[in-house]
Structure 1
Amino acid sequence: MRTLQAIVAVALITFSAYNTQAQTVINPKFGVNLSAVNGNLNDLQASARVGWNAGVDLRVGGKKLFLSPGLHFNNYTARLVNDLSTDTQVKFKEETTIQAIKAPVNIGFDITGKKQLLNLFLKGGVTPTMILAVNEKPGIPFSKDDLKTFTWGANVGLGMDITILTVDLNYEIGMSDYFANTTGRNNVLTLSAGIRF
């Protein structure tokens, strides 16, 4: 996490040095996310589903380009289904939640310009993620230890500003395995809305 903080700090200083008219926009937001990840854990098949997220992004830049670091809390819903490898097992489905912190670092480009009533922008970058907790269910062998603590993703997004309101759609491609002992990467589609000031 310290490495990420150092990267963001250096990027902000460098970006500001080359952008004498740099402005900072604060953009708190709330949204929903759809995850696409599958993995086989012990006798369980785990798959992520719909969740929610809340956080804040900054936009630091001039007329067209901007740097956009952020910090977001994500809550995923995971569906757990037991693997019916023997006839004696009873089939069950259970859902639990996974909490994580994401710290995206993006470079953005204003398509229509900041002074317009309606502004479209593109952004892309990297997203480190840290798993915080798993809501463990009694009798189900699925816990935080089954997930990697840190993962990386590459993301691209399209956003829109309407006066002080913002809406953005972001797609993150998992660049590392999500599970500790099996393969499976987490790809996340997020739709968020917020305000900017």
Structure 2
Amino acid sequence: MRKKRMSLVLSFIGLMGFISFGYSQVTIKPGIGINITNWSKDPGGATTSGNVGWQIGGTVAFGEKLFFEPGLFYVEQSTEVDVIDSEMPDNFKFDNKITSLRIPVNVGYSILGKEDGMFSLHVFGGPTASFVLDVKETDLLSKDDHKSINWGVQAGAGINLTMFYLDASYEWGLNEFLEDMDEKVKLQGFYLTAGIKF
């Protein structure tokens, strides 16, 4: 299944990359932002809530009205886990912090203006792949308890104003991100990125 998903993503990237050669406009968009990610469901005996994380990286947009936009971001995500255990006098809390390289591959459309213009309003969406680099070790979870790749799909909208941009998106996880869990827990979250374009 993992190889099939990887082949699908690579095929999508190759197809969009081939199409992008037909466009004359290329826009480079470095950016920095925040994210709030949470588990798709609470596992038995615990509750979870999203903490604020951050990301830094950039994308390259090919095209004007219709555009193809792959990217690469260094991301830190954090979810607070509150373990409810009858044997403990107090609940045990910890932060599940995950550091990864996130690769979004979006196709977008400028509803107002053009992607390379002074002002534009655009929508976008596509698959994502996050390659786990590190996990903050706790008494209950370590890097070995996490899958090495998290697959997702996102949708969002953004604005361009002169040389600046602001993008907001929501990502839904496609695979379980923890090993050997009875519940099928996935990562999902909100991303907000701002930067410049040239």
Q: TM-score scaled by structure 1? A: 0.84
1:155 aligned partner:
154
Going from structure 1 to structure 2, the CA distance change for 1:67 and 1:116 (only over 3 Å counts) comes to closer
Partner of 1:187: 188
What amino acid sits opposite 2:189 in the alignment? V
5+ residue gaps, structure 2, are none
Contiguous gaps of at least 5 residues in structure 1: none
- Tell me the distance in 2 between the aligned counterparts of 1:178 and 1:106: 22
1:84-118 per-position Cα deviation (integer Å, ceiling 9, x unaligned)? 133x5543323352101111111111112226532
1:40 to 39, 43, 48: 43
Matched letter for residue 164 of structure 2:
L
How many Å apart are 1:83 and its aligned residue?
3.1
How many residue pairs align between the two structures?
189
Matched with 1:169 is 168
Gap change, CA 1:132 and 1:146, over 3 Å in 2: same
2:58 is aligned to 56
Q: Secondary structure, in 3 states, of the residue corresponding to 1:104? A: strand
d(CA) in 1 for partners of 2:80, 2:195: 29
Q: Equivalents in 1 of 2:190, 2:160: separation in Å? A: 19
d(CA) in 2 for partners of 1:98, 1:44: 19
- The answer to whether the Cα contact below 8 Å between 1:35 and 1:187 also exists between their aligned partners in 2 is yes
TM-score by length of 2: 0.83
* Higher-Rg member (1/2): 1
- Write the deviation string for residues 32-56 of structure 1: whole angstroms up to 9, x where unpaired: 1111214538x76555422111111
Q: Counterpart of 2:84?
A: 83
Distance 1:47 1:149, change over 3 A: farther
Q: Is the 8 A contact 2:36 2:78 kept in 1?
A: no
Contact 2:37–2:79, Cα closer than 8 Å, also in 1: no
Provide the C-alpha distance between the structure 1 equivalents of 2:152 and 2:65, rounded to a whole number of angstroms. 25
Aligned partner of 1:51: which letter? G
1:84–1:91 CA contact under 8 A, matched in 2? yes
Q: CA deviation at 1:82?
A: 2.9
**Contact 1:39 / 1:179 at 8 angstroms: preserved in 2?**
no
Specify the alignment match of 2:18 in structure 1.
13
